[in-house]
Each structure stands twice: as C-alpha cells, then as structure tokens.
Amino acid sequence: MNADLHCHSCHSDGVLSPAALAARAAANGVELWSLTDHDNLGGLDEAREQARALGMRFIDGVEISVTWHGTTIHVVGLGIDPRHAPLEQGLASVRSGRDERALRMADALEALGVRDAYANAMRHAGNPSLVGRSHFARVLVEQGYAPDVHAVFRDYLVRGRPGYIEHQWTALEQAVAWIRGAGGVAVVAHPGRYRISGDQLLRLLGDFRDAGGQAIEVVSGSHGEAEVRHFARLARDFGFYASRASDFHAPDESPIDLGRGAHLPAGVEPVWHAPELGSRAACPA
Ligand code: AMP
Ligand code: MN
Ligand code: MN
Ligand code: MN
C-alpha cells in the first residue's frame, strides 16, 4: 500500500494547491492520501474532490500545533470530520495568535537587516491566517541570507537563534480531544524532529497515549533509516499504530516527494488499519 498521510498545500505552508498536490501524489503512485495542513481545514474539499477524480482513496486530515512542557509538538489528526464544530472552533483559536507572532518575527528579522519582512512573508502566505516560519524562511532565501530554507531554520528560526519568537500553542490533551471528538485518530508527527531527550520523548508518548492518542509517524520525511527502526520499536512498545508520511511542502524544499518514503517496517500495525479509518480506507472515495 502506497500511503502518504501527511503533506501541506498553500492553505498552510506548502506551495502547491490541493489539486496540484493530488495530481503529484497520483503521478507518484499514492493509493491512500491525506492532506494535513497546519491548523486549518480549508484545502480538504478540493483535495477530496481531486483525489476522487484521480482514483485515490482520501482521508481528511489536519496537523495541529501544540505546546507540551514548553516544546512545540505537532499532532496530526486523520479521518476527522471537517464539519465538527468544536474542531473548527478550536483550530480558529490556534490560528488566532499567528499574525501577532508574525509581526514580532518580522521586527526581529528586520533588526538583522531583512527588508519588509512582514509584507514579504505575507506575499508567500497563500492563507494569511496561517502565516508562519516557512513563509519567512522563503523571504530570507530570496534576500540571500541563506542558500535554502533548511539553513534559514538552522541559523535564524529555531529557539536560540535571532529570528525565533516563543509562542504558546494549544495543549496536547486539547488537540487530541478535538481530533477524537471529530471521529479521528491522533498521530504524533515526526517524533524524530523534536529537540528533547529520549526520556522526555517517552514522557511525551505516555502523556499522548493517556490523552487518547493512538499513533506515531514511523516513516517521515524527517526520519533516517535508524529513526524508522527506532520509532517502529516505540510504536510496538506503546501499542501505537504506525503512520507513513512524506510531510511534503514544496518540490524544492522537501527531502521526500509525495509517496516516495520508505515502506513501513514489518511488525508494526499501519494506521490505516485503525477502525476509525477503516471504512474510508476500504471503499474508493
Ligand atoms: P510554524 O508553525 O510557523 O512554527 O512553522 C513550522 C513549520 O516550519 C514546519 O511545519 C515546517 O514546515 C517548517 N520547519 C520547521 N523546522 C524546519 C527545518 N529545520 N527545516 C525546514 N523547515 C522547517
Ligand atoms: Mn509546515
Ligand atoms: Mn510538523
Ligand atoms: Mn507537516
């Protein structure tokens, strides 16, 4: 099964439209696809419609920004009902702080010499309510501050670097409750990306399971082979389903294209076997 259950469109910080992503996924052989934009559901109707037209099975998804003990964590929701009002309202509350954060980020970057940082980031933001670090990263690349967005993040946009602005997202338990309330499965996104210790990661996964979380990304565009093996083992230890995810954002930026990651290792239970996703995954959309 070629499943890709995490990627981004221009409704958050990806660069392609949902329709263009659907076409790219289908061309790459994806059979089961989910669009998981950050903190909003605006691309799902177009993605679902295009997936159907291309004969791909589709799962409604979202990636929610969470703050857990001071660290930003991303929780993907798969198989959510996009019309579930508490989820929609919750996501609106998560989005509400982004503009002020962007203004503060722009001030910090302009102090380093970046020109018109806010206006230029907004030019990249297909959805102004979702303006974020990726849009600023593209501005810094354009203005020659770094060769690519990856270097921009490393040198400017992570904690301890001059363009980083602390931000409080929603609580882990809250994000999981919105996802479960909307009928979905909650998945810890790219566990290899968090700069926390091994013990802290075990605590995170324990808190997540206690809150009703059921899955982790084992294969992710952020994971190397050793991490895939490590997170497969943790999925088994915690009784989590395993997800497979490119986290594709843009052709020139993302390490893995849609549907092109490793397959899940043997011995884990794919998240598309979860009963919450069963009906959607079993019948052509
Ligand atoms: P934000 O939600 O505004 O904090 O932006 C988070 C987004 O920044 C993530 O979803 C990624 O798309 C991007 N990002 C974070 N870290 C990196 C990195 N090291 N390299 C490239 N993109 C990154
Ligand atoms: Mn992103
Ligand atoms: Mn993420
Ligand atoms: Mn993502």
User: 32-78, pLDDT tens digit by residue?
Assistant: 999 999 999 999 999 999 999 999 999 999 999 999 999 999 999 99
User: 154-192, pLDDT tens digit by residue?
Assistant: 999 999 999 999 999 999 999 999 999 999 999 999 999
User: Which ligand 1 atom is at minimum distance from the Cα of 101?
Assistant: 3
| Structure token digits, residue 48 | 């679902």
| String of DSSP letters for 87-156 | HHHHHHHHHTTHHHHHHHHHHHHHHTT-SSHHHHHHHH-SSGGG--HHHHHHHHHHTTSSSSHHHHIIII
CA distance readout (Å), 130 to 18, 96, 108, 193 = 16, 9, 19, 21
CA distance 160 to 164: 7
CA distance 32 to 6: 11
With CA atoms as reference, report the closest residue to 56 among 261, 259, 221, 274. Answer: 259
| 167 Cα to the center of ligand 3, angstroms | 15
159 touches 153 (CB < 8 A): no
Q: What is the 8-class DSSP label of residue 261?
A: S
Q: In this structure, which residue's CA is closest to atom 3 in ligand 1?
A: 132
- Would you state the pLDDT for residue 278? 78
Whether residue 283 has pLDDT greater than 60: no
